[in-house]
Protein backbone atom coordinates (compact mmCIF):
# COMPACT_ATOMS: atom_id res chain seq x y z
CA UNK A 1 0.00 0.00 0.00
CA UNK A 2 1.51 3.38 -0.97
CA UNK A 3 2.48 5.62 1.94
CA UNK A 4 -0.03 8.34 0.99
CA UNK A 5 -2.88 5.79 1.08
CA UNK A 6 -1.74 4.49 4.48
CA UNK A 7 -1.67 8.03 5.88
CA UNK A 8 -5.16 8.66 4.51
CA UNK A 9 -6.40 5.39 6.00
CA UNK A 10 -4.94 6.36 9.39
CA UNK A 11 -6.91 9.60 9.38
CA UNK A 12 -10.16 7.91 8.46
CA UNK A 13 -10.11 4.87 10.77
CA UNK A 14 -11.38 6.64 13.90
CA UNK A 15 -14.05 8.51 11.97
CA UNK A 16 -15.27 5.35 10.28
CA UNK A 17 -15.35 3.46 13.59
CA UNK A 18 -17.70 6.11 15.00
CA UNK A 19 -20.00 5.61 12.02
CA UNK A 20 -19.85 1.81 12.38
CA UNK A 21 -20.67 2.03 16.08
CA UNK A 22 -23.88 3.85 15.21
CA UNK A 23 -24.81 1.43 12.44
CA UNK A 24 -24.14 -1.78 14.31
CA UNK A 25 -26.18 -1.08 17.42
CA UNK A 26 -25.35 -1.99 20.96
CA UNK A 27 -24.16 -5.59 20.58
CA UNK A 28 -20.50 -6.61 20.71
CA UNK A 29 -18.58 -6.22 17.46
CA UNK A 30 -15.68 -8.30 16.17
CA UNK A 31 -13.44 -6.75 13.51
CA UNK A 32 -11.79 -9.36 11.28
CA UNK A 33 -8.75 -8.38 9.18
CA UNK A 34 -8.12 -10.41 6.03
CA UNK A 35 -5.26 -10.09 3.56
CA UNK A 36 -1.73 -10.90 2.54
CA UNK A 37 0.86 -8.30 3.55
CA UNK A 38 3.22 -9.58 0.86
CA UNK A 39 0.81 -8.62 -1.93
CA UNK A 40 0.68 -4.81 -1.98
CA UNK A 41 -2.82 -3.44 -1.32
CA UNK A 42 -4.11 -6.90 -0.37
CA UNK A 43 -2.51 -6.30 3.05
CA UNK A 44 -4.85 -3.39 3.82
CA UNK A 45 -7.23 -5.51 5.91
CA UNK A 46 -4.35 -6.85 8.00
CA UNK A 47 -2.86 -3.37 8.39
CA UNK A 48 -6.15 -1.84 9.56
CA UNK A 49 -6.82 -4.73 11.95
CA UNK A 50 -3.32 -4.38 13.43
CA UNK A 51 -3.88 -0.65 13.86
CA UNK A 52 -7.21 -1.30 15.60
CA UNK A 53 -5.50 -3.73 17.97
CA UNK A 54 -3.03 -1.00 18.99
CA UNK A 55 -5.35 2.00 19.13
CA UNK A 56 -8.79 0.87 20.20
CA UNK A 57 -10.58 -1.29 22.72
CA UNK A 58 -12.47 -3.14 20.00
CA UNK A 59 -12.38 -6.91 19.63
CA UNK A 60 -10.11 -7.59 16.67
CA UNK A 61 -9.00 -10.80 15.01
CA UNK A 62 -6.27 -10.65 12.39
CA UNK A 63 -6.72 -13.81 10.27
CA UNK A 64 -4.49 -12.81 7.33
CA UNK A 65 -5.13 -15.30 4.49
CA UNK A 66 -6.79 -18.19 6.32
CA UNK A 67 -10.10 -17.20 7.89
CA UNK A 68 -11.18 -20.86 7.88
CA UNK A 69 -8.53 -21.60 10.53
CA UNK A 70 -10.17 -19.07 12.88
CA UNK A 71 -13.79 -20.25 12.80
CA UNK A 72 -13.60 -21.53 16.38
CA UNK A 73 -12.16 -18.21 17.64
CA UNK A 74 -14.80 -16.27 15.71
CA UNK A 75 -17.59 -18.40 17.18
CA UNK A 76 -16.26 -18.04 20.72
CA UNK A 77 -15.66 -14.26 20.47
CA UNK A 78 -19.15 -13.52 21.76
CA UNK A 79 -19.82 -10.94 19.05
CA UNK A 80 -23.26 -10.20 17.65
CA UNK A 81 -21.87 -8.16 14.75
CA UNK A 82 -18.89 -8.74 12.48
CA UNK A 83 -16.98 -6.27 10.35
CA UNK A 84 -14.77 -8.01 7.80
CA UNK A 85 -11.93 -5.79 6.61
CA UNK A 86 -10.53 -6.86 3.25
CA UNK A 87 -9.26 -5.30 0.06
CA UNK A 88 -9.22 -6.21 -3.60
CA UNK A 89 -7.50 -4.67 -6.57
CA UNK A 90 -9.17 -5.12 -9.91
CA UNK A 91 -8.69 -3.62 -13.35
Numbers of helices and strands, H then E, in the chain: 3, 3
Inter-residue contact 77 to 61 (CB < 8 Å): yes
- pLDDT of 55: 77
Query: How confident is the model over 25-73, as pLDDT tens digits?
Result: 667 889 999 988 887 667 888 888 888 888 777 889 999 888 899 999 9
E strand or H helix at 84: strand 81-85
Strand order in the sheet with 59-64: 59-64, 29-34, 81-85
E strand or H helix at 73: helix 71-76
What's this model's pTM, rounded to 2 decimal places? 0.71
Amino acid sequence: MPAKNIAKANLNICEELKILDGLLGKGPVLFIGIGNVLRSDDGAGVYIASRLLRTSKKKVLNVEVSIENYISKINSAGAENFVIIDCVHSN
